[in-house]
Amino acid sequence: MERTITIRVSDDLKRELEGISKREERPISDIVRDSLKKYIAIRKFRRLRAMVLPFAEAQGILTDEDLFREIS
Protein backbone atom coordinates (compact mmCIF):
# COMPACT_ATOMS: atom_id res chain seq x y z
CA MET A 1 0.00 0.00 0.00
CA GLU A 2 1.33 3.42 -0.86
CA ARG A 3 0.99 6.31 1.53
CA THR A 4 1.35 10.02 1.06
CA ILE A 5 3.75 11.97 3.24
CA THR A 6 4.33 15.69 3.37
CA ILE A 7 7.75 17.26 3.79
CA ARG A 8 9.02 20.81 3.93
CA VAL A 9 11.91 21.86 1.71
CA SER A 10 13.64 25.16 1.17
CA ASP A 11 12.82 27.23 -1.88
CA ASP A 12 16.28 26.44 -3.28
CA LEU A 13 15.77 22.70 -2.94
CA LYS A 14 12.31 22.96 -4.50
CA ARG A 15 13.76 24.81 -7.49
CA GLU A 16 16.52 22.21 -7.84
CA LEU A 17 13.99 19.38 -7.76
CA GLU A 18 11.78 21.15 -10.30
CA GLY A 19 14.77 21.63 -12.59
CA ILE A 20 15.78 17.97 -12.34
CA SER A 21 12.19 16.92 -12.86
CA LYS A 22 11.90 19.00 -16.01
CA ARG A 23 15.26 17.91 -17.45
CA GLU A 24 14.65 14.24 -16.77
CA GLU A 25 10.95 14.42 -17.62
CA ARG A 26 10.12 12.64 -14.37
CA PRO A 27 7.73 13.62 -11.59
CA ILE A 28 9.30 15.10 -8.47
CA SER A 29 7.68 12.35 -6.41
CA ASP A 30 9.60 9.70 -8.42
CA ILE A 31 12.88 11.54 -7.87
CA VAL A 32 12.26 11.89 -4.14
CA ARG A 33 11.12 8.26 -3.84
CA ASP A 34 14.25 7.03 -5.65
CA SER A 35 16.44 9.24 -3.47
CA LEU A 36 14.87 7.85 -0.30
CA LYS A 37 15.33 4.27 -1.50
CA LYS A 38 19.01 4.92 -2.21
CA TYR A 39 19.49 6.66 1.14
CA ILE A 40 17.92 3.74 3.01
CA ALA A 41 19.98 1.18 1.05
CA ILE A 42 23.21 3.05 1.83
CA ARG A 43 22.33 3.24 5.53
CA LYS A 44 21.63 -0.52 5.62
CA PHE A 45 24.90 -1.24 3.81
CA ARG A 46 26.90 0.93 6.21
CA ARG A 47 25.27 -0.71 9.23
CA LEU A 48 26.05 -4.21 7.90
CA ARG A 49 29.58 -3.15 6.96
CA ALA A 50 30.18 -1.89 10.50
CA MET A 51 29.01 -5.23 11.90
CA VAL A 52 31.22 -7.30 9.57
CA LEU A 53 34.31 -5.10 9.55
CA PRO A 54 35.87 -6.41 12.78
CA PHE A 55 35.62 -10.00 11.51
CA ALA A 56 37.13 -9.07 8.15
CA GLU A 57 39.99 -7.19 9.78
CA ALA A 58 40.70 -10.20 12.01
CA GLN A 59 41.11 -12.25 8.81
CA GLY A 60 43.48 -9.66 7.32
CA ILE A 61 40.94 -8.23 4.90
CA LEU A 62 41.69 -4.52 5.14
CA THR A 63 41.18 -3.17 1.62
CA ASP A 64 38.89 -3.70 -1.35
CA GLU A 65 41.78 -5.46 -3.06
CA ASP A 66 42.04 -7.89 -0.14
CA LEU A 67 38.35 -8.64 -0.44
CA PHE A 68 38.46 -9.11 -4.21
CA ARG A 69 41.43 -11.46 -3.82
CA GLU A 70 39.48 -13.55 -1.29
CA ILE A 71 36.34 -13.87 -3.41
CA SER A 72 38.03 -14.35 -6.79
1 C-beta neighbours (distance < 10 Å), count = 2
Q: What is the pLDDT of residues 11-45, one digit of tens each?
A: 999 999 999 999 999 999 999 999 999 999 999 99
The reported pLDDT for the residue numbered 67 is: 85
The number of distinct structural domains making up the chain is 1
Angle at 34 between CA 2 and CA 52, to 5 degrees: 105
Single out the residue of 14, 34, 10 nearest to residue 22, CA to CA: 14
Which structural domain range is residue 28 located in?
Answer: 11-71
The answer to the question of residue 15 being in a domain is yes
Angle at 63 between CA 57 and CA 68, to 5 degrees: 105
Q: Measured between alpha carbons, how far is 60 from 15 in angstroms, rounded to an integer?
A: 48
The answer to the question of residue 1 being in a domain is no
The reported pLDDT for the residue numbered 12 is: 98
The reported pLDDT for the residue numbered 22 is: 98
Decide: pTM greater than 0.75: no
